[in-house]
């Protein structure tokens, strides 16, 4: 009877807890036809404590150390010390474990099927589909616990303060407020919007929202018991279930229980999410951009060829004001006012094309071969 009970307990556990798979990963580095995956579980009190990245490659002689170094090169908020193939220290944003304990390596065919072979990062061969993870802990308790279910890591470079064109308020300090409705628009991009605010001293999360509301009449919100119970931006709205975050960029969101736990100072960010994902890559909020979702059916944009190797052609009846092309890390790499743009100089990879017209702006993904 006990075996039957344990069987059904395991079955229910697998049913109620969704697995983390390749499809959940947002932050990819490298190019190639093969894929490997990296999980870091800091095993600390921060939320989240475990993250995942993806790595593409073609070579046959790569080690897990090569994957880690490639991710570090793409993410300035990450540092590691790998000596003679073994990982001695690893830090990422607020997560900065000491050296009293050790990093324990794991690898296997999936995120929930990894084993500890006591091999360092420089001794685990990368094969197509391998999951490599590290957990921070001690040999007397944590060694038998593989990485916990991660969240998809975001890049700290996908959106930065210099991308804000219109700031609200005045003062020597500045912060970004990202509001994510947890949905995607017709082009597949996140319905996530950002405001830039300026102020003096420190301000609370609610004061930050009030500051935006005072100059952006299309923002409306209600708070109840230190929670955001209702929020709308033009045609977007969400009632209940708003989750709160604080960070310094998209990669460093830390979940907070209520508004009273959030005070903003210079360069800190406030995030609100109506759904399960942490606030994702945003578009600068304005009455025009927030109307794009409702008028996209009237506006017609077509970018071809996609994928492309030489040029892109933008087909639209709208009068174009400006076209900006951003890398996957959020860096602006090209600006044009023409409908046909030569992209031969761009490296192969994924890019975002921002099309600005008098009616607002929209963003489309292209692939450069």
Q: Which of 73-77, 100-104, 108-112 has the lowest mean pLDDT?
A: 100-104
C-alpha to C-alpha distance for 161 and 150, rounded to whole angstroms: 27
Instruction: Give the integer Cα–Cα distance in Å for 132 and 236.
Output: 40
- Domain identity same for 134 and 234: no
**Token output for 288:** 């025009």
Residues 6+ apart with CB under 8 A from 93: 77, 156, 247, 248, 251, 252
Share of residues in the chain with pLDDT > 90 (%): 63
Name residue, tokens 């017609």: 300
Is 352 a domain residue?
Answer: yes
Higher pLDDT: 20 or 331? It is 20
Per-residue pLDDT, 241: 81
Please tell me which residue, 100 or 334, carries the higher pLDDT value: 334
Q: What range does the domain containing 348 cover?
A: 302-368
- The rounded Cα 219 to chain-centroid distance in angstroms is 24
What pTM, to 2 d.p., does this model score? 0.74
- How much is the average pLDDT of 340-352? 89
CATH number, domain of 311, equals 2.60.40.10
- Predicted confidence at residue 296, as pLDDT, reads 41
Note whether residue 323 is domain-resident: yes
Asked whether residue 6 carries a pLDDT value surpassing 50, the answer given is no
Cis peptide before 184 (omega within 30 of 0): no
For residues 42 and 117, state if they share a domain.
Answer: yes
Residue pLDDT, tens place only, 182-198: 988 777 789 999 999 99
Same domain, yes or no: 320 and 342? yes
Residue 2 falls within a domain, yes or no? no
The more confidently predicted of residues 184 and 168 is 168
């Amino acid at each position: 009877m006990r075996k039957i009970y344990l069987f059904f307990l395991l079955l229910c556990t697998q049913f109620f807890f969704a697995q983390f798979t390749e499809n959940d990963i947002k932050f990819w580095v490298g190019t190639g036809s093969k894929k490997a995956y990296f999980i870091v579980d800091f095993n600390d009190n921060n939320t989240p404590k475990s993250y995942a990245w993806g790595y593409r490659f073609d070579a046959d002689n790569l080690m897990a150390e090569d994957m880690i170094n490639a991710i570090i090169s793409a993410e300035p908020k990450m540092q590691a010390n790998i000596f003679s193939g073994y990982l001695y220290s690893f830090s990422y944003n607020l997560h900065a474990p000491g050296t009293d304990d050790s990093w324990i390596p794991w690898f296997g065919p999936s995120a929930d099927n990894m084993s500890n072979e006591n091999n360092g990062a420089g001794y685990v061969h990368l094969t197509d589909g391998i999951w490599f993870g590290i957990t921070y802990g001690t040999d007397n308790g944590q060694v038998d616990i593989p990485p916990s279910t991660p969240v998809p890591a975001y890049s700290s470079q996908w959106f930065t303060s210099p991308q804000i064109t219109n700031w609200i308020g005045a003062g020597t300090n500045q912060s970004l407020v990202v509001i994510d409705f947890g949905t995607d628009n017709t082009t597949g991009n996140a319905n996530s919007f950002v405001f830039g605010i300026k102020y003096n001293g420190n301000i609370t999360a609610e004061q930050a929202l009030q500051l935006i509301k005072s100059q952006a009449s299309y923002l409306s919100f209600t708070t109840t018991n230190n929670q955001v119970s209702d929020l709308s931006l033009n045609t977007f709205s969400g009632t209940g279930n708003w989750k709160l975050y604080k960070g310094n960029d998209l990669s460093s969101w830390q979940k907070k229980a209520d508004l009273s736990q959030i005070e903003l100072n210079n360069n800190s960010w406030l995030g609100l999410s109506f759904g399960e994902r942490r606030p994702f890559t945003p578009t600068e909020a304005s009455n025009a951009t927030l109307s794009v979702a409702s008028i996209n059916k009237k506006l017609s944009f077509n970018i071809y060829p996609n994928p492309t190797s030489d040029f892109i052609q933008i087909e639209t009846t709208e009068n174009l004001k400006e076209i900006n092309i951003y890398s996957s890390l959020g860096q602006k790499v090209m600006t044009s006012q023409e409908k046909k743009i030569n992209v031969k100089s761009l490296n192969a990879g994924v890019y975002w094309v921002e099309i600005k017209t008098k009616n607002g702006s929209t963003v489309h993904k292209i692939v450069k071969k």
